[in-house]
Amino acid sequence: MAKDRSDPDLDCELPDLPPELRWREWMRRIEAVLFASACPVPREDFARVVGQEVSVDQLVEDLAADLEGRAFEIAQVAGGWMFQTRAAYAPAIRAAAD
């Protein structure tokens, strides 16, 4: 997923938002990138959408906490993160695939 440039139209700073809404927007961006990616997303890719000064690890932790109770979770894989279905739902997935 890595590219050498970031979108010049993407405002990573979000200075017009209050801090709590800015954090929520960054979490949504992380979630959107994870959702759109078929492979693990490295920290550097996230940094391009939230800014270099933002703690990607903390954003991912907060997003993971928001996903508690959902059928999927964030997994750290191969130096990045990706969505995966929780193991408890493997039987349902197998049944649907049959």
| Region class of 61: left (phi > 0), else alpha (psi between -120 and 50), else beta | alpha
Cα distance between residue 98 and residue 94, in whole Å: 6
The pTM assigned to this predicted structure is: 0.86
CATH number, position 55: 1.10.10.10
Q: Does residue 6 lie in a domain region?
A: no
The whole domain housing 78 covers: 19-97
Residue 5 lies in a domain: no
In a domain? residue 9: no
How far, in Å, are 80, 87, 91, 98 from residue 46 at the CA level? 10, 26, 32, 36
Total of domains in the chain: 1
Distance CA 80, CA 88 (A): 23
**Is 28 among the domain residues?**
yes
pLDDT tens digit string along 44-53?
999 999 999 9
Give 13-45 pLDDT, tens digit per residue.
999 999 999 999 999 999 999 999 999 999 999
Residue 69 lies in a domain: yes
